[in-house]
């Protein structure tokens, strides 16, 4: 049996991309700058959008754009139990 896709994926942007900040009355487009760390969370929706954590705020962006503008960071969490 194959492992499920990871729920969270960390990217570091190598070029800017456009994201959507969801407001209470309307959505706002803004640019996420190169060098920013982006934590993609969950699964890609049928529209191609994925929720992502950017600078402490959840936004929506196209997964295709994230893969084109970012490089995947392989991060492994570990803990030490006393």
CA distance 79 to 30: 36
Residue 17 lies in a domain: yes
Residue 81 lies in a domain: no
Residue 78 neighbours by CB under 8 Å, 6+ apart: none
Instruction: Tell me the residue range of the domain where 39 lies.
Output: 1-47
Residue 38 lies in a domain: yes
Residue 43 lies in a domain: yes
Predicted confidence (pLDDT) per residue in 53-76, tens digit = 999 999 999 999 999 999 999 866
Residue 36 lies in a domain: yes
Supply the pLDDT for residue 76: 63
Q: What is the mean pLDDT of residues 16-41?
A: 91
Q: Could you give the number of structural domains in the chain? A: 1
Supply the pLDDT for residue 65: 95
Residue 63 neighbours by CB under 8 Å, 6+ apart: 40, 44, 48, 49, 50
Supply the pLDDT for residue 77: 59
């Amino acid at each position: 049996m194959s492992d499920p896709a990871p729920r969270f994926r960390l990217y570091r942007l190598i070029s800017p991309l456009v994201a959507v900040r969801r407001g209470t009355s309307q959505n706002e487009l803004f640019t996420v700058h190169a060098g920013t760390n982006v934590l993609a969370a969950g699964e890609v929706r049928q529209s191609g959008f994925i929720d992502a954590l950017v600078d402490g705020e959840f936004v929506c962006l196209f997964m295709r754009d994230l893969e084109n503008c970012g490089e995947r960071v392989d991060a492994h969490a570990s803990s030490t139990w006393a």
